[in-house]
A and B are shown apart, each in its own frame.
Chain A
Amino acid sequence: PPITSSHLPSHFMKGAIIQLATGELKRVEDLQTQDFVRSAEVSGGLKIDSSTVVDIQESQWPGFVMLHFVVGEQQSKVSIEVPPEHPFFVYGQGWSSCSPGRTAQLFSLPCHRLQVGDVCISISLQSLN
């Protein structure tokens, strides 16, 4: 099932306090690409992947969008369904969603429009080999 809005509000709400892996505290709207990269570096077992948006479609679930990514060096195809207000962090750009207006309305979080070709930050488990 898709991720529902009820899972979203608190940590994407403007002003939400985020703890980086270094222990540093930042507001969600102040996060920068380097904060995620550095956090992954000091986290055991997690790695940052570059996930490029290759397609954005309407979902079969009303009120959702289906996002298609190619992920990491392997260029694996991964699809997820999210509400259009769900923010993703785009490298060098910051928070972006399919519906920046709705994100601003619900979370007061300033967002760019997420587009095909954007490279988002995602995480996966670090390979043990």
Chain B
Amino acid sequence: NVEPRSVAVFPWHSLVPFLAPSQPD
């Protein structure tokens, strides 16, 4: 018998860069 183990789950948005241009004043 294999004991169930907890598995980490990562949100989709952690895989893509957040590329936000700096806002002009």
Contacts and interface: CB of A to CB of B under 8 A. Distances in A.
Interface of A: 10-12, 16-21, 25, 28, 31, 35-36, 39, 43, 46, 49, 51, 69, 71-72, 74, 76-78, 80, 88-89, 120-125
Interface of B: 7-21
B1 to A, nearest CB: 22
A46 B14 contact: no
A80 B17 CA distance: 9
Contacts of A88: 16-17
A16 B8 contact: yes
Contact of A123 (B10, B18, B21): B18
Contact of B21 (A18, A46, A77, A120): A77
A42 to B, nearest CB: 10
A96 to B, nearest CB: 12
